Amino acid sequence: MKPRVLHVVSEVAPWAKTGGLADVAGALPSALRELGYDARLVVPGYPAVLEALQDPQVVGSDPNLFEGGRADLLAGTLGDVPAFVVDAPNHFKRAGLYVDEHGHEFEDNALRFAALGWAAAAVVNAFRIGEQRSVLHLHDWQSGLAAAYVRYGPRPNTPILTTIHNLAYQGRFDSAVLEQLGLPRQANSVYGIEYYGGVGYLKTGLYYADAMSTVSPTYALEIQTPEQGHGLDGLLRSRSNRLFGVLNGIDTNVWDPRTDPALPSGYDESTIDAGKGAVRAELAERFSISATTGPWFGVVSRLTWAKGIDVVLDSLDALPPDAKLLLLGTGDAALEERVRAVNDARVVAHLGYDEALAHQIIAASDFLLVPSREEPCGLTQLYAMRYGTVPIARAVGGLADTVIDGETGIAFAGHALPDAFRRALALRDSARWSAMRRSIMARDHSWTKSAQRYGEIYDDLAR
Ligand code: ADP
């Protein structure tokens, strides 16, 4: 029998999403189930998740969980995956997942995600997860406390895999929160949940884990260096033989140019130009620009320093006069302001979050720009390939593993984006252009390979 796998995660597409983490939680459990693993979810009861949960049954309860009032643990099904949902309205019945409408972190995030950890441990205990072949799979800081609750609970030997989707977000809180977490005193130690004088949720998830992983092989190496280790490189280095890099897949049903409902007409390897032409015409009309025959560049990204969008804005001079640059993004106020201030007829910027427009820009462009300074895996470069759009990416993290210069895209180092633009234009005029676009479209980015790799890690942990 293949082991049972309990995924503890704070986002799940399509119901609750701020980034790639949600895409993983929305796709990996189903891919594992197809391989025969009994994969299940433990997720917070945000309004959209509660609404989507089918056949909910109360399987646990706490009258005043972490001072947040009543909390029920519901069991049901999300999509085609069995799920446990923490129905704690005071903690999770809010519009945002982590921040309020002004972009400020919720003040009680430490307790909100302690509640998620509590729920995971409750499921482990109630369903005797630790007694059969099973693995607790934690994702990012929001699920980290589950590891402590399990290690100090009745089934402390439950195997734990903790996956880092982004090391920059660590869930570090003031030690004042300790009193409320209900953990024994000895947990507050460097050999436990203590982290630089406070409490570290990601550190907790990693410290108590039997194995750790991150979402690309290159990122797994980068985070073991002091420069990119965000303070956790020592811990990661000390157990580097238990740290794996498993590339994310993509949802090939949602991202399929043949059937994409966001496009005016579907296209495949043999109709790339017609398909791109149709969506360009639509975008040209929507944004009142001319649908020239020049090169189209796209950007779909959160606007943060790590995503390197400032490098694009600094390199506009290197674009030819007949180019178009379509940018979709939202994020830091200062970066949004810089984008708004761009005064260049070639640039169309849309500040906001818009799934359909993301699909359209990725489909319409010849090139998708991914100039990240740090990128654990990155998904948009994979979406681009599937749409016959050549990624131009900085060779870091998962981008270095997937954008192979001259083969699957154009890779550049440091600030060499202007040079990458020149190489891109030469490529577009060359005889290789058609063949390269066709070949990147045909690559397999489905979840099956990644799910098989996770399966090997589970098999090993649940021995
Ligand atoms: P991260 O998780 O760091 O944001 P990824 O590349 O792993 O980066 O995932 C980003 C996801 O969010 C992709 O699915 C991308 O299409 C989507 N996305 C980012 N910004 C926007 C936006 N403004 N509108 C629509 N989708 C967006």
For every residue of 77-121, which 3-state class applies, written as one string? EECCEEEEEEECHHHHCCCCCCECCCCCECCCHHHHHHHHHHHHH
Nearest to 83 by CA among 31, 129, 123, 140: 123
Does the predicted model carry a pTM greater than 0.85? yes
Cβ burial 61-96 (10 Å sphere, 16+ → b, else e): ebeebbebeebbbbbbebeebbbbbbbbebbbebee
In the reported structure, the alpha carbon of residue 301 is separated from the centroid of ligand 1 by a whole-number distance in angstroms of 5
In the reported structure, the alpha carbon of residue 456 is separated from the centroid of ligand 1 by a whole-number distance in angstroms of 28
Residue-level pLDDT at 129: 62
In the reported structure, the alpha carbon of residue 244 is separated from the centroid of ligand 1 by a whole-number distance in angstroms of 24
In the reported structure, the alpha carbon of residue 282 is separated from the centroid of ligand 1 by a whole-number distance in angstroms of 22
Q: Which of 11, 163, 169, 353 to mutate to test the pocket of ligand 1 (most atoms within 8 A of CB)?
A: 353
Residue-level pLDDT at 251: 87
Residue-level pLDDT at 290: 83
In the reported structure, the alpha carbon of residue 359 is separated from the centroid of ligand 1 by a whole-number distance in angstroms of 11
Q: Can you tell me which atom of ligand 1 is nearest the CA of 165?
A: 2
In the reported structure, the alpha carbon of residue 378 is separated from the centroid of ligand 1 by a whole-number distance in angstroms of 9
Q: Which of 140, 142, 216, 301 to mutate to test the pocket of ligand 1 (most atoms within 8 A of CB)?
A: 301
Residue-level pLDDT at 133: 85
**Which DSSP category does 129 fall into?**
G
Largest CA distance in the chain: 68
In the reported structure, the alpha carbon of residue 337 is separated from the centroid of ligand 1 by a whole-number distance in angstroms of 19
DSSP 435-457: HHHHHHHT----HHHHHHHHHHH
The arrangement of strands across the sheet holding 410-412 comes to 347-351, 324-331, 296-303, 367-370, 390-394, 410-412
What are the tokens at 373?
């300074």
Q: Can you tell me which atom of ligand 1 is nearest the CA of 380?
A: 6
Q: Which of 140, 142, 374, 380 to mutate to test the pocket of ligand 1 (most atoms within 8 A of CB)?
A: 380
Q: Which of 215, 299, 300 to mutate to test the pocket of ligand 1 (most atoms within 8 A of CB)?
A: 300
In the reported structure, the alpha carbon of residue 56 is separated from the centroid of ligand 1 by a whole-number distance in angstroms of 30
CA–CA dist 418, 401 (Å, integer): 22
In the reported structure, the alpha carbon of residue 300 is separated from the centroid of ligand 1 by a whole-number distance in angstroms of 7
Helix (H, G, I), strand (E, B) or coil at 149: helix
CA–CA dist 315, 312 (Å, integer): 5
Residue-level pLDDT at 1: 84
Ligand 1 pocket (Cβ < 6 Å) reads: 19-20, 23, 300-302, 328-330, 353-355, 358, 377-380
Q: Can you tell me which atom of ligand 1 is nearest the CA of 17?
A: 12
Sign of CA dihedral 201, 202, 207, 212: positive
Residue located nearest, by CA, to atom 18 of ligand 1: 301
Residue-level pLDDT at 128: 66
CA–CA dist 234, 81 (Å, integer): 36
Residue located nearest, by CA, to atom 9 of ligand 1: 20
Q: Can you tell me which atom of ligand 1 is nearest the CA of 21?
A: 2
Q: Can you tell me which atom of ligand 1 is nearest the CA of 362?
A: 16
367 contacts 299 by C-beta, under 8 angstroms: no
Residue located nearest, by CA, to atom 4 of ligand 1: 19
The pairing of strands 324-331 and 296-303 is parallel
Residue-level pLDDT at 131: 64
Residue-level pLDDT at 130: 58
139 contacts 147 by C-beta, under 8 angstroms: no
63 contacts 92 by C-beta, under 8 angstroms: no
CA–CA dist 178, 165 (Å, integer): 25
Nearest to 165 by CA among 186, 183, 143, 149: 143
Q: Could you read off the pLDDT tens digit of each residue along the chain, which spans 463 residues?
A: 899 999 999 999 999 998 889 999 999 999 999 999 999 999 999 999 999 999 999 999 999 999 889 999 999 999 999 999 999 999 999 989 999 988 899 999 999 999 999 999 999 988 766 567 899 999 999 999 999 999 999 999 999 999 999 999 999 999 999 999 999 999 999 999 999 999 999 999 999 999 999 999 999 999 999 999 999 999 999 999 999 999 999 989 889 999 999 999 999 999 999 999 999 999 999 999 887 789 999 999 999 999 999 999 999 999 999 999 999 999 999 999 999 999 999 999 999 999 999 999 999 999 999 999 999 999 999 999 999 999 999 999 999 999 999 999 999 998 899 999 999 999 999 999 999 999 999 999 999 999 999 999 999 999 7
